[in-house]
Structure 1
Amino acid sequence: MLRFAAVLTAATLAAGSAAAQAPQPGEAAFRALYKELVETNTTFSAGSCTLAAERMAARLKAAGFADSAITVFTPPGAPKDGGLVAVYPGTDPKAKAILLLAHIDVVEAKREDWTRDPFTLVEEDGYFYGRGASDDKSQAAIWTDLLIRLKQEGFKPRRGIKIALTCGEEGGGQVNGAAWLAQNRRELIDAAFALNEGAGGALDKAGGKPVVHNIQAGEKTSVSFRLEAVNPGGHSSRPVPDNAIYHLAKAIDRIAAYQFPVQMNDTTRAYFGKMSGVVGGEMGAAMSAIVANPNDAAANAVLSRDANHNAILRTTCVATQISGGHAQNALPQRANATINCRIFPGESPAAVREALVKAVGDATVEVSQPPKGRGDTPAPPLTREVMGPIEKVSAQMWPGVPVVPILQAGGTDAKPLIEAGIPTYGVTGIFYDPDLGRLHGLNERIAVKSLMDAREFSYRLVKLYAQAK
């Protein structure tokens, strides 16, 4: 999962105030829960999400949750790809619940490549190390611990609170639990809105101080198109200009030169508007200008030089795979390429395909659209109901650090929930170093202080949401 990389070019330019680190109730129990979850292997090759879900369910039951409040589910034919839904009831039956979503599957990790055992949680030099220590077992542990903490307090929320811990977000071969729930058990996760991964805070490079606190509101959709050129071929000793590989190469070159137009929504307008003051200089001025006029060519040119900014300004398409020919001494009969597009919220794959066809400008090259999938998922609205509590708690914990909505250029499990009618936002309160915690890479880590601050942030935030009218 690609996270909020767009902020990182700005993250080294300014610094805010660090959050105060206060002792937290139940921290030892939280650490034990987090350790158990990280040390439960949930890779596709050798692990089991179902086992992780069962272990979290056991902790909830030990805290006093009734069996009726806990559902451990397994998609048919996928006994290791299970997940957990747990419900903390509210006092107002007319008030829709809040859903807290996290995935418990992790990217593969080879012991021989890591400095430490990836499935043993290690605390060292102010960091927790382990596969999933950040992505996304940090959030799954926070949500599970949160319900236990509220149960122990005897908290009486107006709105119900639900957690969903699901498998398959990393795309390694497991069934996607969030999509499965949305399609098959929608009633289990019904909610007014959901909180998910996909964003967080950025720390400066120099002193690890908070710079900006990002909230994900919307994400681009990944859709891959296929270019294919077909030709009768012939003997390579008698070349002709009508060559399938040549046609394909020219088509790819034209796509490389094509730039989709700038698009703006509430999230990107808020992002560029707020970040302009943080970044400053030429880039900051371009951010202000693009908000004022999305057709400003000069501002577009400046922002597009940065791959992270370019990624959230528009739909992007790039060649990622290519193949062609059937023999070294024969003219190619077939050549094809994969064009992976990240589609701006609200734009359809059909419209993107049409733009690619026009850019290619060659009737001998077919541009085929995938048989399923949609790219027109809208961004969830940035309402005061959602943003107000985030801004309030963030100001308490990180005074002076701006809260900035972002559009996610990558993908999370927010998409199937949004399509099912549940607005979903990336809200974690986890602040990352410029290396993004080495997510998906070697020696994944998260700062101990960042994790504990995020635990406190989520606790305060969810309580506000749960009591809101």
Structure 2
Amino acid sequence: MQGHWRIIAAGLAGSALVPTTVSAQQRPDEKAFFELYKELVETNTVVDQGSCTRAARQIADRMKAAGYADSDLVLFSTPDHPEDGGLVATLPGSDPTLGAMLLLGHLDVVAAKREDWQRDPFKLVEEGGFYYARGSVDDKAMSSIWADAMIRFRQQSFRPKRTIRLALTCGEETTYAFNGADWLTKNRPDLVRADFVLNEGGGGRLDARGKRQALAIQVGEKAAQNFTFVATNPGGHSSAPTPENAIYDLADAIKRVQGYEFPIKFSDTTRAFFAASAKALPSPTSAAIQRLLADPTDQSADAIVSRDKVLHSTLRTTCVATLVNAGHAENALPQRATANVNCRIFPGESVEGTLAKLKELAGPKVTVTANQPVRPVAVPPPLDPKIMGPVQSLAAKHFPGVPVVPMMSTGATDGVFFGRLNMPVYGVPGLFLEPDLNGTHGLNERIRVTSLYEGRDYLFDLAKTLAQ
């Protein structure tokens, strides 16, 4: 996402530089939100270290105190993964014909080593206008905002026309972990079925001075899938080498992957994104984008646009070698060589189709398999005016002059699991981040205090509006 923001901001920075002005914790409801947020952030939810189950139970207790009945709250986990549980909450709507909407967040966070951090990663610290902690952004900011919104709706006796569901799950950050969103859509679709989902993935961009530059709504995302390449050989003594060598065979296969470009594809979202980028970027990139929009097979235009790595990855499926392992002794010919190839698959394309192409590229001397688990490929949602309209009108109210741009994430979220239920997923804007993405997944993760409370107000109004 960082690259998308860089591109958008390059052309729009001068049009909407609005300083943040909101003071935090001035209202009673803000103080209550802070307590929820602080408790969630300070609950360690690293997979295999902490407990999402505990975090979910804490939020459920707060919701019960706000007036939710036991029947409105479902705490779930499995015997094999007792600490990887989650919560589904329901606020019934008054008009069953309108269906439901789902507010989605994940409770788990990326691991954080105390010795590497300047502060305790599981202690919320306010310093210099920022909250520091692991998960202060990803994804405990949005999870806290959604839970807080559900509590406020009940406290205000708000009766939505559309049913509002909340799902807080575990396992998003770890490929091989138990994934609550995956489990719910497979085993309890009745709990989460809705007409659309509001999720992470969008956001806002600040410049280095904390001024707003742009907002983005994520409308579609790539699917992440790993593939294993294996070359084998009888081996032998290194003093008598032969042309057959597992390392060389693997290297040749990887080089063919490196040299292959998947064909350019456009979705409604990426077409809108590139149209906006063409207006913002200088020549020759702007002209080349226009040519690609007219003819995706234009190789010379592709070469120009693809000089930017983010634009390149937004145009197509990408596959890249990320891990290699070979040989068993320094004085022996290698008997086995393996590589991991990480692919980010464009919406609408399949894992099976990508695997077939990789097998073709690898050739007969190298086997290629898709690593488990095979995650589903995201279904690109429509640019629905019933969603986009409130997103844009409320952005104009809360963040005057800041443009809203649709984008496709080149990464992946738990939104991919809802395609099997034909539920469109939108990564909503509202939470403004710094140019370095706030240390998300890295050291000293942080969020600007005013950005958190501004985003909370925007997302509360958005959920309330879409439910009416």
Whether the aligned pair in 1 keeps the contact of 2:133 and 2:444 (CA below 8 Å) is: yes
* Stretch of structure 1 that moved more, 230-239 or 366-375: 366-375
* Counterpart in the other structure of 1:379: 380
* Counterpart in the other structure of 1:426: 427
Whether the aligned pair in 2 keeps the contact of 1:196 and 1:428 (CA below 8 Å) is: no
| Pair 285,431 (structure 1): closer, same or farther in 2 beyond 3 Å | farther
Residues 117-155 of structure 1 deviation map (CA, whole Å, 9 limit, x = unaligned)? 111111111111111111000001100111111122221
1:228-243 alignment, distance < 5 Å? 228-243=230-245
Whether the aligned pair in 1 keeps the contact of 2:78 and 2:85 (CA below 8 Å) is: yes
1:144-183 alignment, distance < 5 Å? 144-171=147-174, 174-183=177-186
Whether the aligned pair in 2 keeps the contact of 1:100 and 1:163 (CA below 8 Å) is: yes
Cα distance in 1 for partners of 2:175, 2:48 equals: 9
Whether the aligned pair in 1 keeps the contact of 2:379 and 2:424 (CA below 8 Å) is: no
| Pair 24,455 (structure 1): closer, same or farther in 2 beyond 3 Å | farther
Match of 1:272 among 271, 274, 277: 274
* Counterpart in the other structure of 1:297: 299
Structure 1 position 42 matched with structure 2 position 40: no
* Stretch of structure 1 that moved more, 230-239 or 341-350: 230-239
Whether the aligned pair in 2 keeps the contact of 1:139 and 1:428 (CA below 8 Å) is: no
Residues 57-100 of structure 1 deviation map (CA, whole Å, 9 limit, x = unaligned)? 11111111111111111123211111111111110122211100
Whether the aligned pair in 1 keeps the contact of 2:130 and 2:448 (CA below 8 Å) is: yes
| Pair 241,445 (structure 1): closer, same or farther in 2 beyond 3 Å | same
Whether the aligned pair in 2 keeps the contact of 1:17 and 1:398 (CA below 8 Å) is: no
Whether the aligned pair in 1 keeps the contact of 2:376 and 2:417 (CA below 8 Å) is: no
| Pair 111,368 (structure 1): closer, same or farther in 2 beyond 3 Å | closer
Instruction: Describe the SS at the equivalent of 1:102.
Output: strand
Cα distance in 2 for partners of 1:11, 1:417 equals: 31
* Counterpart in the other structure of 2:353: 351
1:379-398 alignment, distance < 5 Å? 379-398=380-399
Cα distance in 2 for partners of 1:170, 1:460 equals: 28
Cα distance in 1 for partners of 2:373, 2:125 equals: 42
* Counterpart in the other structure of 1:454: 455
Match of 1:340 among 336, 342, 345: 342
Amino acid in structure 2 at the alignment position of 1:8: R
| 1:358 Cα deviation from its structure 2 partner | 3.4
* Counterpart in the other structure of 2:289: 287
Whether the aligned pair in 2 keeps the contact of 1:345 and 1:375 (CA below 8 Å) is: no
TM-score (norm 1): 0.93
Structure 1 position 213 matched with structure 2 position 211: no
Cα distance in 1 for partners of 2:429, 2:123 equals: 23
Whether the aligned pair in 2 keeps the contact of 1:121 and 1:129 (CA below 8 Å) is: yes
Instruction: Describe the SS at the equivalent of 1:79.
Output: strand
| 1:24 Cα deviation from its structure 2 partner | 5.4
Amino acid in structure 1 at the alignment position of 2:236: G
Whether the aligned pair in 2 keeps the contact of 1:244 and 1:333 (CA below 8 Å) is: yes
* Stretch of structure 1 that moved more, 397-406 or 287-296: 287-296
Amino acid in structure 2 at the alignment position of 1:11: A
Cα distance in 1 for partners of 2:409, 2:88 equals: 25
Whether the aligned pair in 2 keeps the contact of 1:204 and 1:210 (CA below 8 Å) is: yes
Cα distance in 2 for partners of 1:172, 1:298 equals: 37
Cα distance in 1 for partners of 2:275, 2:10 equals: 18
* Counterpart in the other structure of 1:11: 9
1:189-268 alignment, distance < 5 Å? 189-205=192-208, 207-268=209-270
Structure 1 position 324 matched with structure 2 position 326: yes
* Counterpart in the other structure of 1:135: 138
Cα distance in 2 for partners of 1:332, 1:65 equals: 63
Amino acid in structure 2 at the alignment position of 1:377: A
| 1:371 Cα deviation from its structure 2 partner | 6.4
Cα distance in 1 for partners of 2:367, 2:114 equals: 44
* Counterpart in the other structure of 1:30: 33
Cα distance in 2 for partners of 1:280, 1:459 equals: 38
Cα distance in 1 for partners of 2:302, 2:279 equals: 18
| 1:298 Cα deviation from its structure 2 partner | 3.1
